[in-house]
């Protein structure tokens, strides 16, 4: 972890050493003003955690609320058909 201080941003793409280790790395990066990104792909599910510290600001350019939905199924064709979960209303 000591070599992380040589970088502006550290990115982990897998959780190989457990979340306690990742929390320690994130704490180290935050205290050294280093960006920390953690992403994982778990089949159809994935996530991203981004921590650029207390001074990081995000500006919303259009002010529109973000939308989310659950994909129930999709076909394996060039023009795929995507089916969303019925309990999650959306405008797509």
Note down the domain range covering 38.
2-54+64-84
| Confidence check: pLDDT of 32 > 60 | yes
Dihedrals phi, psi of 71, to nearest 5 degrees: -85, 125
pTM here is 0.61
| Confidence check: pLDDT of 76 > 60 | yes
Query: Which residues, listed in sequence order, are joined to residue 46 by a DSSP beta bridge?
Result: 41
Residue of higher predicted confidence among 55 and 35: 35
| Confidence check: pLDDT of 11 > 90 | yes
Q: How far is CA 38 from CA 14, 18, 28, 44, in A?
A: 8, 12, 14, 17
Domains held by the chain: number: 1
Residue 76 forms part of a structural domain? yes
Residue 92 forms part of a structural domain? no
């Amino acid at each position: 972890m000591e070599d992380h201080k040589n970088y502006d941003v550290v990115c982990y793409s897998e959780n190989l050493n457990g979340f306690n280790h990742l929390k320690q790395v994130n704490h180290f990066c935050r205290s050294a003003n280093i960006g920390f990104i953690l992403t994982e792909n778990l089949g159809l599910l994935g996530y991203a955690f981004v921590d650029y510290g207390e001074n990081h600001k995000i500006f919303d350019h259009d002010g529109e609320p973000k939308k989310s939905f659950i994909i129930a199924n999709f076909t394996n064709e060039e023009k795929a058909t995507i089916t969303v979960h019925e309990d999650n209303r959306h405008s797509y």
